[in-house]
């Protein structure tokens, strides 16, 4: 037991006598000021669909590529490799949004405010025949559909056979 207590005392003494780290010699660097997130208003979600070649009928479960011309009437650019895209979704005859399929399309180049982008989006028809509405809307991925923020989506009635 004495030997155990002696070991504990030595360990405690060595720990207490160990060297303490020297204070830092360089001054801490000042923090960079935080950048405020841009304030997005209804004007940030403004656009106008100028043209589209959406078919009025499709076969169930078929896919096509639709070209849509969109004018950026917002106050911010849409980078071609960014999160702002053309999107579409289906609604049934009762006005309920289908869970899928949705489509997306990106502009081949940046679309500045006042500019026009030609988006190509793959559209997949619902699997059940019927009359549906295909809604074209701009979307900022993981943020919002522009139509929910004051944008002006275009709805096309499509017969699925």
pLDDT digits (tens, 9 = 90+) for 29-59: 666 656 555 567 778 999 999 999 999 999 9
Residues sharing a CB contact under 8 Å with residue 126, sequence separation 6 or more, in sequence order: 60, 61, 90, 98, 101, 132, 160
Token match 């500045």: residue?
A: 112
The pTM of this model reads 0.74
Angle at the Cα of 55 (from 52 to 59), degrees rounded to 5? Answer: 145
- Distance CA(151)–CA(43), nearest Å, equals 9
Are 127 and 27 within 8 A, CB to CB? no
Task: Specify whether domain 42-160 bears CATH 3.30.43.10.
Answer: no
What's the pLDDT tens digit per position in 86-121? Answer: 999 999 999 999 987 789 999 889 999 999 999 999
* Cα pseudo-dihedral 139, 143, 74, 117, rounded to 10: -30
Instruction: Work out the average pLDDT over 128-132.
Output: 97
Q: Which of 139, 134, 133 is nearest to 151 (CA)?
A: 139
pLDDT score for 43:
86
Q: Are β-strands 154-160 and 57-58 bridged in parallel, bridged antiparallel, or unpaired?
A: parallel
Query: Averaged over 141-158, what is the pLDDT?
Result: 95
Per-residue model confidence (pLDDT) at position 79: 96
Whole-number pLDDT of residue 41: 73
Cα-flanking dihedrals φ and ψ of residue 31, to 5°? -70, 145
């Amino acid at each position: 037991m004495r030997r155990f207590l002696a070991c504990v005392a030595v360990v405690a003494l060595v720990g207490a006598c160990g060297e303490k780290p020297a204070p830092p010699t360089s001054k801490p660097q000042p923090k960079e000021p935080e950048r405020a997130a841009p304030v997005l208003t209804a004007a940030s979600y403004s656009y106008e669909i100028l043209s589209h070649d959406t078919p009025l009928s499709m076969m169930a479960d078929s896919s096509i590529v639709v070209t849509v011309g969109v004018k950026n009437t917002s106050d911010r650019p849409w980078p071609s490799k960014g999160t702002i895209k053309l999107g579409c979704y289906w609604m049934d005859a009762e006005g309920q949004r289908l869970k899928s399929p949705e489509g997306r399309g990106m502009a081949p180049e940046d679309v500045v405010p006042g500019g026009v982008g030609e988006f190509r989006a793959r559209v997949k028809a619902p699997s059940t025949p019927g009359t549906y509405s295909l809604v074209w809307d701009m979307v900022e991925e993981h943020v919002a559909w522009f139509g929910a923020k004051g944008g002006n989506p275009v709805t096309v009635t499509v017969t699925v056979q």
